[in-house]
């Protein structure tokens, strides 16, 4: 399949300038892709916040002591996913002819975001284990009351 418009345009550019033309087009495409991935990450955070608020508000309206573990776990899952999208966007920003400064910045950002994700995931696992223990304890307490 031939593109009747782009090929003559590309061939009309002198040979030394063709690479820069193509590179500029690819850079533009990657920047749009990066923007899209960042928007998805921001959207995931927004959905996570709305979901957490939907879980939190009924708890607050009951005016009784509540365990916010489920809300925290729900929000943490969304934040962990959003961090992955944001890291992907950062990687895209250095995909085309990166400078050493950009590579260094990406390395620092990747370390920070990976560490955040690690600790967030670890905290989620600890919270899940704690919630599971509470369920087991509640069942055991309920059975001892019946007996």
Tens of pLDDT, residue by residue over 90-132, are 888 888 778 899 889 888 888 988 888 888 888 888 888 887 7
* 2 has pLDDT over 70: no
> Which pLDDT band holds residue 139 (cuts at 50, 70, 90)?
confident
pLDDT at 49: 97
Tens of pLDDT, residue by residue over 9-40, are 656 666 677 777 777 888 889 899 999 999 99
Helices first, then strands: H and E counts in the chain: 4, 0
Q: Which two tokens stand for residue 58?
A: 């009924």
Burial of 7 (0-12, 13-18, 19+ CB in 10 A): exposed
Q: Which two tokens stand for residue 137?
A: 């304890």
The residue among 41, 47, 44, 48 whose CA lies nearest residue 71 is 48
CB atoms within 10 A of CB 92: 18
Q: Which two tokens stand for residue 118?
A: 């690690």
Our measurement of the distance from residue 49's CA atom to the centroid of its chain's CA atoms, rounded to an integer in Å, reads 13
> pTM for the full model?
0.70
């Amino acid at each position: 399949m031939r593109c009747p418009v782009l090929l003559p345009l590309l061939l009309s550019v002198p040979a030394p300038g063709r690479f820069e033309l193509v590179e500029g087009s690819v850079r533009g495409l990657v920047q749009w892709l990066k923007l899209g991935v960042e928007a998805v990450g921001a959207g995931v955070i927004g959905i996570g916040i709305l979901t957490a608020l939907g879980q939190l508000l009924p708890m607050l309206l009951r005016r009784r002591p509540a365990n916010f573990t489920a809300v925290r776990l729900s929000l943490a899952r969304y934040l962990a996913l959003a961090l992955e999208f944001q890291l992907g966007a950062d990687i895209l920003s250095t995909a085309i002819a990166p400078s050493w400064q950009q590579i260094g910045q990406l390395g620092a950002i990747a370390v920070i975001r990976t560490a955040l994700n690690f600790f967030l995931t670890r905290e989620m696992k600890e919270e899940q284990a704690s919630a599971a223990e509470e369920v087991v304890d509640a069942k055991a307490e309920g059975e001892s009351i019946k007996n």
